[in-house]
Chain A
């Protein structure tokens, strides 16, 4: 029992500059070959727990720690960082920032080089790690040019090369398309089956449940709110807080009041297209292959469009054309009838407001008020109009009390809403968002999307997403992109019913989609599981 890979007993931790406990009396143990899922909302203590186990606390992050962590019978306090790192391998959330080598072999060899292992031993061990994940073919490739899924595997190979017996994975699915996510999960399961104890911290609970974790812990405010098998989790956890399988949510939601959701972006009489793509082709330079290959579609008032597709399919490149940030190498894009080649991005911004994936990519001003004034000032609005727009935008996102705060000092969710308000203040007719739910937990992202869709001010909304459920719940139209081509354009019911097509585009059906397809003959359209529960009862 004492030689188990990991025994955590009554672990508490408080960061040096914080007054409240980040971890409060957490206990559990992990056996070889087990997969453990750690779920919980943002700020629940998941990351702190991982830092305690992998030694970053107290080596890098300091504070007050109590309780104990034992690995294979040895207390972590008796282990040096080098010993901890060889026992526990950690894959961080963003592989782009974890990958240190310019080339794949260098990246995978990094830890072994740091340990001072002989050169003769490094190469076979690195190759073995690559082979284990079936990516040996990437050995001599540059890391920068690899896809999101490949980067995730490269980062994992770099950790596996050090032959850890415990693996910590911090939101490993965050930037992956559905197919890549499931490939990654299969790899994690296989590693566990080979005897490694695997801990996965993840918001995408439903996805992780598909590999049948032996142990699930649900954390809330630094405490362990649930520890047990995945079946028990379904009964205990608030289904608003983490994403459970749709059938479970539907069953449990019957007892609660039906959700209220009244989207305000509705079709209009005027059928004049807001945006037109006419045979759009694009490549970044003349020597590189085409990223877009003959795209045709129109955006009309009332459209809520979800753009689905795999990593690197051309989704972001496509929507950047819709604002004129990129110009077609062949074909044309018209915004309210004007060719983007003949207009500036600033002119197009009157029609299209584009919110990038991370708010930190755009927020810069000393106060929220100045941040919101930035766009309308650039567009040449009068001071009175700017003030009016700021007042309306901040009211709409319900952050009036933060008007004089620095935007970068707000929480991630608030920053996200400020980035929307910054676009609202420009009075653009179309809201375009790249991965609007990225970096948010389930509760926050649902509240965020509900708020956006019920927010007055936009004639149309376009969002890029990997999350099929987001398209199921919120979209009135889906554009499915694969390899730079638009392979489907229609209502969610039309596009998502073709499972074969979805799979060929690396988009996987979810339990919510399957449930909706089952009830579609009776409901006529797609709904969230909570709504379905009441339509059936």
Chain B
């Protein structure tokens, strides 16, 4: 089965920008958003991220798989880690707080010691806003950025030729790797292997997925050797490289980069000069 990134020209807003400007903006957004735990600031980033995301004109059907993966990660981080076990909030949420069930949580007559606080619950909401904002900004990149421009973009951002091209190469071979994985998966299913039956502790589960992981890894290593040969045979890395496509900044790119830098500066000043933007819980939520 063919697996691709579903990149196509969509004439969305983000395609009007130079990809370097997009990456600078996206990275600035990432660093800026990670400075805040205040939901009022995070809400701004959340709205901005999804406005940016929806301007891409990508369809839900195309990005569904990516969002399912992010949803799974969010579930593990928020529900399992933050809410149930109380982890992940250390250093942000002050100790103590207001219990959601002060008298304890009763389930089928049993009293369960569950010390979930309103503060931790609010922290979880902030966490959701942060991660989903960052995801919206970065998930949309492979669907809206021409795969031919990865190399020249990273080169234009000052990275060396070898690193810049390896990024382009990664995007080239992701579909091939995905296809190899599908082939191995089918080959093992043909031998009665059912991934649904992979159960037991973590070590048993690792052993049980070996029929998928080992062949894919071995094939990737062999493929890596061929790719290296192919690159060597066409002089890669022997001279300074010319990139086929040329990127040029326009006025809108400077606007976007300025916005990214402004976000960063606001973050830095808020946090280190005005000491605002840290974890904050609205009073109505606690009472």
Closest chain-B Cβ to A374's Cβ sits at a distance in Å of 6
CB contacts (< 8 Å) of B215 on chain A: these are: 360-364
- A426-B191 in contact given A82-B239, A364-B215 (Cβ < 8 Å): yes
- A144-B242 in contact given A101-B172, A360-B215, A375-B191 (Cβ < 8 Å): no
A16 in the interface (beta carbon within 8 A): no
B148 touches A102 (CB 8 A): yes
CB contacts (< 8 Å) of A98 on chain B: these are: 226-227, 230
CB contacts (< 8 Å) of A360 on chain B: these are: 215, 218-219, 222
Q: Which residue of A lies closest to B175 (CB)?
A: A144
CB contacts (< 8 Å) of A101 on chain B: these are: 148, 172
Interface residues of A in 68-105 (CB under 8 A from B): 80-82, 85-86, 90, 92, 94, 96-103, 105
CB contacts (< 8 Å) of B1 on chain A: these are: 284
- A92-B241 in contact given A100-B169, A346-B194 (Cβ < 8 Å): no
Q: Which of A81, A97, A426 contacts B232 (CB 8 A)?
A: A81
A117 to B235, CA, bound (A): 12
CB contacts (< 8 Å) of A345 on chain B: these are: 189-190, 192, 194
- A97-B226 in contact given A119-B242, A325-B190, A374-B211 (Cβ < 8 Å): yes
A142 to B172, CA, bound (A): 10
B241 touches A113 (CB 8 A): yes
Interface residues of B in 176-227 (CB under 8 A from A): 176, 180, 183-184, 186-194, 210-211, 213-215, 218-219, 222-223, 226-227
A145 to B7, CA, bound (A): 13
A453 in the interface (beta carbon within 8 A): no
A129 in the interface (beta carbon within 8 A): no
Q: Which residue of A lies closest to B196 (CB)?
A: A344
Selecting from A252-260, A271-279, A348-356, the interface stretch reads A348-356
CB contacts (< 8 Å) of A379 on chain B: these are: 192
- A422-B191 in contact given A81-B238, A102-B148, A145-B2 (Cβ < 8 Å): yes
Interface string of A105-129 (1 = CB under 8 A from B): 1100111111111110011000000
- A344-B194 in contact given A98-B226, A103-B148 (Cβ < 8 Å): yes
Interface string of A410-427 (1 = CB under 8 A from B): 000000000000110010
A361 touches B234 (CB 8 A): no
B228 in the interface (beta carbon within 8 A): yes
A374 to B207, CA, bound (A): 12
Q: Which of B148, B223, B237 contacts A106 (CB 8 A)?
A: B148
Of the four ranges (under 10, 10 to 19, 20 to 34, 35 or more), the interface on chain A belongs to 35 or more
A362 touches B184 (CB 8 A): yes
A111 to B235, CA, bound (A): 6
A452 to B184, CA, bound (A): 23
A378 to B197, CA, bound (A): 10
A349 touches B168 (CB 8 A): no
Q: Which of A81, A94, A96, A143 contacts B235 (CB 8 A)?
A: A81
A106 to B213, CA, bound (A): 31
A115 touches B239 (CB 8 A): yes
CB contacts (< 8 Å) of A116 on chain B: these are: 239-242
Chain B contact residues: helix, strand, loop or mixed: helix
CB contacts (< 8 Å) of B175 on chain A: these are: 144
A111 to B246, CA, bound (A): 17
- A378-B192 in contact given A111-B235, A320-B186 (Cβ < 8 Å): yes
CB contacts (< 8 Å) of B187 on chain A: these are: 354, 356, 361-362
- A162-B234 in contact given A97-B227, A101-B172, A362-B188 (Cβ < 8 Å): yes
A343 in the interface (beta carbon within 8 A): no
Selecting from A18-26, A54-62, A332-340, A457-465, the interface stretch reads A54-62
A45 in the interface (beta carbon within 8 A): no
B172 touches A102 (CB 8 A): yes
Interface string of B149-192 (1 = CB under 8 A from A): 00000000000000000001101100110001001101111111
B229 touches A378 (CB 8 A): no
CB contacts (< 8 Å) of B228 on chain A: these are: 60
A408 to B215, CA, bound (A): 9
- A56-B233 in contact given A81-B238, A144-B2, A362-B184 (Cβ < 8 Å): yes
Q: Which residue of A lies closest to B218 (CB)?
A: A360
Q: Which of B4, B194, B236, B243 contacts A144 (CB 8 A)?
A: B4
Q: Which of B148, B180, B184, B234 contacts A85 (CB 8 A)?
A: B234
Q: Which of A109, A159, A349 contacts B191 (CB 8 A)?
A: A349
B107 in the interface (beta carbon within 8 A): no
A365 to B147, CA, bound (A): 37
A145 to B193, CA, bound (A): 29
A323 in the interface (beta carbon within 8 A): yes
A314 in the interface (beta carbon within 8 A): no
B172 touches A100 (CB 8 A): yes
Most buried by A among B172, B191, B230: B191
B80 in the interface (beta carbon within 8 A): no
B244 in the interface (beta carbon within 8 A): yes
A5 in the interface (beta carbon within 8 A): no
- A117-B242 in contact given A102-B172, A378-B192 (Cβ < 8 Å): yes
A346 to B191, CA, bound (A): 7
Interface residues of A in 140-181 (CB under 8 A from B): 142-145, 158-159, 162
CB contacts (< 8 Å) of A364 on chain B: these are: 210-211, 213-215
- A85-B191 in contact given A114-B241, A361-B184 (Cβ < 8 Å): no
Closest chain-A Cβ to B141's Cβ sits at a distance in Å of 15
B192 touches A346 (CB 8 A): yes
A142 touches B4 (CB 8 A): yes
B193 touches A378 (CB 8 A): yes
A349 to B187, CA, bound (A): 11
B231 in the interface (beta carbon within 8 A): yes
Q: Which of A85, A103, A423 contacts B233 (CB 8 A)?
A: A85
A227 to B229, CA, bound (A): 28
CB contacts (< 8 Å) of B244 on chain A: these are: 105-106, 109, 113, 119, 122-123
CB contacts (< 8 Å) of B239 on chain A: these are: 82, 114-116
Q: Which of B147, B176, B238, B241 contacts A103 (CB 8 A)?
A: B147
A223 to B176, CA, bound (A): 37
Closest chain-B Cβ to A328's Cβ sits at a distance in Å of 15
A-B contact pairs, 8 of them (CB 8 A): A101-B148, A110-B234, A122-B242, A143-B172, A145-B4, A323-B190, A356-B183, A356-B187
Residues of chain A at the chain B interface (Cβ within 8 Å): 54-56, 59-60, 80-82, 85-86, 90, 92, 94, 96-103, 105-106, 109-119, 122-123, 142-145, 158-159, 162, 284, 320, 323, 325, 344-346, 349, 352-354, 356, 358, 360-365, 374-375, 377-379, 408, 422-423, 426
Given contacts A101-B172, A114-B235, 8 further A-B contacts (CB under 8 A): A85-B234, A101-B148, A102-B171, A103-B147, A145-B4, A344-B194, A362-B188, A423-B191
